[in-house]
Structure 1
Amino acid sequence: MDTKEDLTGISSTIFYSVVFNETLSDPTMKYVYYDAGFVLGPSLNTEALKKFKHLLFPYGSEDLLSLVSAYGYALFLFLNGVKMDFSMMFRTGKKSWTIALCSLLVPTFAGLFICYYFMDYWKDKLGEFDAEKLPVVVISHSGCSFPVMASLLSDLEILNSELGRLALSAGLVMDVLNSVGSGLGTSIISSLKTDSHDHDQSKGPALAIFSASKYVGFLVLVILTRPAMRWFVRKTPEGRPVKKTYTYLVMFMVFLTGCFGMVARQSVLAGFLIFGLVVPEGPPLGSELIKQLELFATWFLLPIFVTCCAMKVDISRHLDANLILIMVVIIVSVHLVKMLITIGICRYCKMPKTDGLCLALMLSCKGVVDFCTLVFLHDSMLLSREQLAIMAISDLVLGSIAGIGVKSLYNPSRKYAGYQKRNILNLKPNSELKIVACVQKPSHIRSIKDALDICCPTSSNPLMVHVLHLMELVGRSSPIFISHRLQERVSSGHFNYSEDVIVAFDLFEHDYAGNVSVSTYTAVSPSRFMHDDICYLALDKLASIIILPFHVKWTEDGSIESTDDNIRTLNSKVLEKAPCSVGILVSKGSSTSSYDTPTRQIAMIFLGGSDDREALCLAKRTIKECSYNLIVYHLVSSSNNAQTNNWDLMLDDEVLKSVKGYYGNVENVTYEKISIEDPSETTTFLSEIANEYDFIIVGRRNGIKSSQTEALENWTEFPELGVIGDLLASLDTNIRASILVVQQQQMPKS
């Protein structure tokens, strides 16, 4: 074997897999590897390519490459098992179980009935081998793969949407039941075949029972390893990675389980997947295993393996018309029954028709796991080469239809675009203010509490706070949402979620006993989907405003300590999609708490527009507490801005009346009208007042241009804060106060 040429073959395959996947986020649902395999395999059998294929893979070196990369696929299955929250099967509702069982069993029985009832006809048309393998086609298409579904939902950015959570629950149940059922069936059928070869029919039932018992014993043995791994987790200090020794022991148990699986008449791959299911998901053990293995297994070896599998498929060979027609009828029938059943159950559960159709498409999706399974079935002589080609094409078609169909039919953000006004400006007098406050880091707790203090909860103006602790999803596929007030148990693990956050805000509720109600939640999801959790909670709780921490953290001397681009991206998405008003809280770390000083100085910068009116309504809540002094600075220009219409001016004047003293003077409120001739005067004014106040409230004024700020817009570093908020937060201003930038609810355009 020519080592140099073999290396050339390997590097070329990697080139296909990596270059074509350069901009793709997850390899489990991408079909570029199939294209590379089809080009390198017999499907594209042109004379011009033959000599290049021979250079790439001389002397059958593709088989060696496939064997080596199969190790990566085994680890890929193990890691997907680790990511699955197996306990979710027992916590999911009746709806998920009903959809999963009906969508799995009904199409399977319907397809098997068609196969066996017309078996003589199929044998006459197709031949004995192809006809007897039609039940394999039915079983392959009746189930669904949880990793493929999780990847689809992640790509469509609906992983933690309401429909996405339902699809994950149903998909997990279907995948586990299908895997266990297939494993049990494999054990029984393989034992019966062995018995038939021995020509001793009397031992058939007894041998089948013995094989089934071995399989059940194998499952029990694997489950018994979970307490040992739980012990590894308990021995790991919170926030610290597990010891290397523990990960080595787990990997040793993984390979041992694969060997034991062969004793139970299962493949090594089945042993890897089943053991992955019993590994405690999430940190510290599950996340550490994924961190150590995912790059090598999922991003390096898996693409090579999928490419090698695609090289075994020959879609160029002549296919019998009867075989194509019969297999297409069976595949379409199975999926049609599955979709009708799923849609019917969703309609019975009073779900929208569109959501039911999207769920049916998700449960019919096919991907890389299904494709590799087909190749294994072909290698095991359970599918002919022609059937493999047809099944491969059907997987590509079904995967594409599912992705395109769900993307075009389901838009989760439309649920946020309510036409009901949910903001502070439109709250009735003396009504309860509902707030969703988000916390991602321990440093956010105090600043959020200070912002809630500004709302001045009283018996006549109570405050309801929904604190959402956002955590990044690591080491698992399924997102988590916990209501700590309901004491929901989300897993069988011993991981304590949000303990510091719960304690801090329970104390806040105690300090304002009778005037504040606090509910704490934890959302564990990928950072790019966190905005869905925030928006769903705000929508469900009818919140008037969402308070988000700013992405920059300052030190005590005013310099930047750290920035988090994930938080900034999250804030931008919430500003765009929120079903209510949004406030971004900028805390420079040295503002004094209301418990430290007898009087706090609050400033509100008002230029005009809907965002400023909303900010002023929030600021006016501070005057209900005598220990707060509110000063409203109204920045006006001597030259009227042509872009400001008379209606906005009237609304501005109306909301300012209460602070101007139209309805009687209020002792702790001051109104000052500041004339601004040039944008530079705005900067000078803000610099002068920056350190006179403990808290400053401004409107974002998104999309509004005015002569006071127009020339400053090109210098804005943080557009999410607006011009005024950006000036106050900049290093040049050297402000010590906390800043709350408010954006009023964005109503959908008619």
Structure 2
Amino acid sequence: MTYKLATIAVYMLGFFFIVFLCNFLHILLRPLSQPRIISECIVGLFLSNLPVIRKHTSGEGIQNTLQYIVEVAMVLHMFVVGLEIDPNIFLEIHLPEAKVAYTGVLTTFVMAALLTPLLNIPNGTNAPFNLCLSIILSGTACPLLTRLITDLKIGKSDIGRFVVSAGVHTDLVSTLLICVGFIIFDPSSKFNYRSVKAILTMVSLLVIQTVLAAKLTPVIMNWVNRENPEGKPMKGSHLILAVAYVVMVCSFSPLLANYDKVLSAFLAGVFMPREGRTAKMMISKVNYFFSAIFYPLYFFWVGTEAQLVLFEAGKLGSWAKLFFIFIIATSGKVLGSWVSGVMLGFHWQDSIATGLLLNIKGHFHVYLAIMASKMNLTSISTSIAMVFATFLTIIYTPLVVANIIKRARKRSPTQRMALQWHNPSNELRILLCLHGPQNVSSAINFMEISRGPSDPGILVYLTDMIELTDRIAATLAHTGGVDTVTVTDPTVVEMREQITNNVNSYLNEDGEGITVRRMLALSTLNSMHQDICILAEDLMVSLIVLPFHKQQEAGGRLNMGHSGFRHVNRKVLRHAPCSVGILVDRGLGTTIISRSSISLHAAVIFIGGKDDREALAYAGRLARHPGVKLTVIRFLLEATGDSVSSIITIAKSNTLEHQEEMKVDDECFADFYDRHVAGGHVAYMEKYLVNSGQTFSTLRSLEGQYGLFIVGRGGRVNSILTVGMNDWEECPELGPIGDILSASDFSVTASVLIIQQHSLKGELDGLQDEFSIM
């Protein structure tokens, strides 16, 4: 008894040592972005093939125990794989993802079926074996692919989402083909065909199992979910009932028809309901069990079964099998993805990358390779070659993703599309948006004060933001759709003509240095931000100016506005390829801007941060206008005294990030001061403040002194002068300062321009960024 306990303790210590080595090697391979399966494979195969380890694990009892554990775990694994796949994807065969997936499966299947006989595999030269091997090579490890795409941080990109969706289609259809193949052929008898009676028995029992999983299971699971609501521990009896029922469903066909239990678990999982607490708990618990315990032990079992010395590495034929299998699987997927990509109009680089990613094999394919050898369907050397080929499909994945990110960087704008980095010798391009004729006067005055020197001048793309309603859509049906649209709706035509006439009148009178081109953003409010961003990117503008969603009423107050246009503004702020300004018009449109005398008093509030620097850069254009008297008000932090708050203030301002940001602020402000303030063209004042409360009161004291305020939306690092202000913001898209100046209880005659600086997309490195390359 003591001897057995000591043996068990040694095996347990050995298991924990394997887990430790897997995690340690995974940390070492992290700079290469290799997934955990690689480290688990290396450790498992290496340790299991050491002579001292093989001596103590070669016993029949140990081998049977390991195989039993692996088979049980593979049943759980395939059940969860099926549970994570929605069978409704068969209804989506018209989608591009499905077309790419099925074309890749078909091409790989045909190539493997035609070329596999060249391997000259013992016991595997008949047609049934070739077909089954073809199905295996055409499959995709969808769970592993999803995890890799997420870990390599391209899951939010268009190609990342596309590949994951296509992988689901591929995994489902290939596994179902394996299930059908198991029904027709008998693996235990060297792929002899089953009798018609055996096939009908299996099909009948699988149909009963499917009906149980699809019809009866929701009744039981919904009852368990209702009795165990979220937030409360699940009752043990209900948990046992749920697990016992799942075991019964998974065991139905294996016990009665000798159907493979792994494939039966997959089918049971496919038709199980996904909603509810029980399904989520099963998925999370099983996946945690796999990652923490099973996978290291699984590859240790693979190593004990696939003895590396039997690979016959000294023979050229063994390596030929390895690379031949890998080339068949890879070229089939790539060729299929390329063909479907040509039909769908994809870039060839995207098609090849998709094919390479869909070629990933995983744990189930390794399991099938080992079981093929154990059933004497092929030689152990060929099985080991299949295992190695499986891992070759995983190793290159980080390189493919790195290439995707590299191409995304090239397609993303590397030029900083912002006013702060605009070359003064180049024409400034602005996308100026309008909701209707009510914005024309403010737009004209905005162009006037922003014109700068006549050489090189500014190019303004005056864009009408028109909601695509059913009535307007009906008028577009006769002109070929939105892409080739000539709007024939009388209301829209009249509105656009009125705007054009007013702008032309201004340009004919005094439009030197200003070039205006008319544009149109016609779409639903949900997608209008995409039209605006695409226009801005195609036209290479440096600034998008959007009208505030609220309009000024006769009494001077702002109304409730249009919530749809507010959401458009917020989406543009998130996705714009350049800087964005929101113009709150409260009198700018009624002001007559003169070029002979001062007719507008404007102030720019500078606290610090990238958005404030962008506001300062725009203010530099106003400083050149003879009709604008510009004042720069800089809010500076004053931390005096020995109080606790003062000490905290000083500590926060001494962080490395804050100091670097302050250095950039000082350099930017010093350049502005030398250009405009030192020559007397711009007034300057400083306000020394202690906290955000003083900031609020100081802003309030400016009421009635200026007709236009220019402020940055935010972008400040640990700014003590604005901390806490966002707690009472009415419109967060305006930022804390802009929200105060635009409040209904502030001045009714002071317009506000809130500016957000462009964040350079060319710096993306795959860190959860959304990008598009397809």
TM range (shorter): 0.5 to 0.7
> What's the CA shift string for 1:334-388, capped at 9, x where partnerless?
4213211212211332222221111011111123332223223333333321111
> What's the CA shift string for 1:708-742, capped at 9, x where partnerless?
xxxxxxxxxxxxx534x5213558x9997785487
Residue 674 of structure 1: SS of its match in structure 2? Answer: strand
Amino acid across the alignment from 2:210? L
Contact 1:28 1:367 in 2 (8 A): no
Contact 1:346 1:352 in 2 (8 A): yes
1:249 to 224, 241, 247: 241
Matched, 1:34 2:58: no
Counterparts of 1:315 and 1:171 in 2: how far apart (Å)? 31
Q: 1:401 to 1:10 in 2, by over 3 A?
A: same
CA displacement at 1:698 relative to structure 2: 6.2
Q: In the alignment, which residue of structure 2 is the partner of 1:160?
A: 156
Contact 2:80 2:269 in 1 (8 A): yes
2:340 to 345, 351, 373: 345
Unaligned runs of 5+ in 2: 421-428, 437-462, 468-523, 528-548, 552-557, 582-602, 620-630, 638-662, 703-708, 738-754, 764-774
Residue 105 of structure 2: SS of its match in structure 1? Answer: helix
| Mean CA deviation greater in 97-106 or 410-419 | 410-419
Amino acid across the alignment from 2:179? G
CA displacement at 1:390 relative to structure 2: 0.9
1:688 to 694, 702, 714: 694
Matched, 1:275 2:268: yes
Counterparts of 1:271 and 1:330 in 2: how far apart (Å)? 28
Q: 1:641 to 1:233 in 2, by over 3 A?
A: closer
Counterparts of 2:726 and 2:172 in 1: how far apart (Å)? 58
Q: 1:60 to 1:264 in 2, by over 3 A?
A: closer
Q: In the alignment, which residue of structure 1 is the partner of 2:101?
A: 100
Q: Kindly report which structure 2 residues correspond to 1:342-421, keeping only aligned pairs within 5 A, or say none.
A: 342-411=337-406, 414=409, 417-418=412-413
Matched, 1:290 2:312: no
CA displacement at 1:7 relative to structure 2: 2.7
Q: 1:390 to 1:57 in 2, by over 3 A?
A: closer
Contact 1:78 1:272 in 2 (8 A): yes
Amino acid across the alignment from 1:208? I
1:546 to 556, 574, 578: 574
Counterparts of 1:134 and 1:58 in 2: how far apart (Å)? 33
CA displacement at 1:607 relative to structure 2: 4.9
Counterparts of 1:195 and 1:313 in 2: how far apart (Å)? 22
Matched, 1:606 2:606: yes
Matched, 1:15 2:22: no
Q: Kindly report which structure 2 residues correspond to 1:130-529, keeping only aligned pairs within 5 A, or say none.
A: 133-190=129-186, 204-228=195-219, 231-232=222-223, 235=226, 240=231, 243-244=234-235, 246-262=238-254, 263-281=256-274, 284-317=277-310, 319=312, 321-322=316-317, 324-326=319-321, 328-411=323-406, 414=409, 417-418=412-413, 428-429=431-432, 431=434, 515-517=562-564
Contact 1:6 1:61 in 2 (8 A): no
> What's the CA shift string for 1:292-312, capped at 9, x where partnerless?
443334422333223222332
CA displacement at 1:100 relative to structure 2: 1.6
Amino acid across the alignment from 1:335? T
Q: Kindly report which structure 2 residues correspond to 1:584-663, keeping only aligned pairs within 5 A, or say none.
A: 605-607=605-607, 611-612=611-612, 614=614, 633-635=633-635, 643-644=667-668
Q: 1:420 to 1:430 in 2, by over 3 A?
A: farther
Counterparts of 1:368 and 1:609 in 2: how far apart (Å)? 50
Counterparts of 2:229 and 2:761 in 1: how far apart (Å)? 45
* Paired residues, number: 553
Q: 1:519 to 1:299 in 2, by over 3 A?
A: farther
Counterparts of 2:87 and 2:617 in 1: how far apart (Å)? 48
CA displacement at 1:81 relative to structure 2: 3.0
| Mean CA deviation greater in 383-392 or 73-82 | 73-82
Amino acid across the alignment from 2:242? V
Q: 1:256 to 1:697 in 2, by over 3 A?
A: farther
Amino acid across the alignment from 1:361? L
Q: 1:419 to 1:188 in 2, by over 3 A?
A: same
Over the matched positions of the two proteins, sequence identity in percent amounts to 16
Q: In the alignment, which residue of structure 1 is the partner of 2:686?
A: 675
Q: 1:65 to 1:195 in 2, by over 3 A?
A: closer
1:746 to 755, 759, 764: 759
Counterparts of 1:193 and 1:508 in 2: how far apart (Å)? 77
Counterparts of 2:197 and 2:664 in 1: how far apart (Å)? 94
CA displacement at 1:253 relative to structure 2: 2.2
CA displacement at 1:191 relative to structure 2: 9.4
Counterparts of 2:281 and 2:116 in 1: how far apart (Å)? 46
Residue 303 of structure 1: SS of its match in structure 2? Answer: helix
Counterparts of 2:40 and 2:403 in 1: how far apart (Å)? 25
CA displacement at 1:391 relative to structure 2: 0.9
Counterparts of 1:255 and 1:89 in 2: how far apart (Å)? 26
Contact 2:412 2:762 in 1 (8 A): no
Amino acid across the alignment from 1:10? M
Counterparts of 1:616 and 1:258 in 2: how far apart (Å)? 68
Q: In the alignment, which residue of structure 2 is the partner of 1:71?
A: 72
Q: 1:167 to 1:461 in 2, by over 3 A?
A: closer
> What's the CA shift string for 1:130-173, capped at 9, x where partnerless?
77755443322111121121122122212232112221222111
TM-score by length of 2: 0.59
Unaligned runs of 5+ in 1: 434-459, 465-482, 487-506, 521-537, 548-577, 584-602, 620-630, 661-671, 702-720
Q: 1:485 to 1:687 in 2, by over 3 A?
A: closer
Q: 1:354 to 1:604 in 2, by over 3 A?
A: same
CA displacement at 1:412 relative to structure 2: 7.7
Counterparts of 2:550 and 2:185 in 1: how far apart (Å)? 64
Counterparts of 2:158 and 2:67 in 1: how far apart (Å)? 40
> What's the CA shift string for 1:242-281, capped at 9, x where partnerless?
8445543332222112211313443222233333333443
Q: 1:421 to 1:229 in 2, by over 3 A?
A: farther
Counterparts of 1:328 and 1:131 in 2: how far apart (Å)? 22
Q: 1:311 to 1:410 in 2, by over 3 A?
A: farther
> What's the CA shift string for 1:436-472, capped at 9, x where partnerless?
xxxxxxxxxxxxxxxxxxxxxxxx99899xxxxxxxx
Q: In the alignment, which residue of structure 2 is the partner of 1:470?
A: none
Counterparts of 2:564 and 2:159 in 1: how far apart (Å)? 30
Counterparts of 2:59 and 2:197 in 1: how far apart (Å)? 48
Counterparts of 2:413 and 2:344 in 1: how far apart (Å)? 23
Contact 1:111 1:333 in 2 (8 A): yes
Counterparts of 1:33 and 1:688 in 2: how far apart (Å)? 59
Contact 1:691 1:735 in 2 (8 A): no
Counterparts of 2:177 and 2:191 in 1: how far apart (Å)? 21
TM-score by length of 1: 0.61
Contact 1:700 1:743 in 2 (8 A): yes
Residue 301 of structure 1: SS of its match in structure 2? Answer: helix
Residue 309 of structure 2: SS of its match in structure 1? Answer: coil
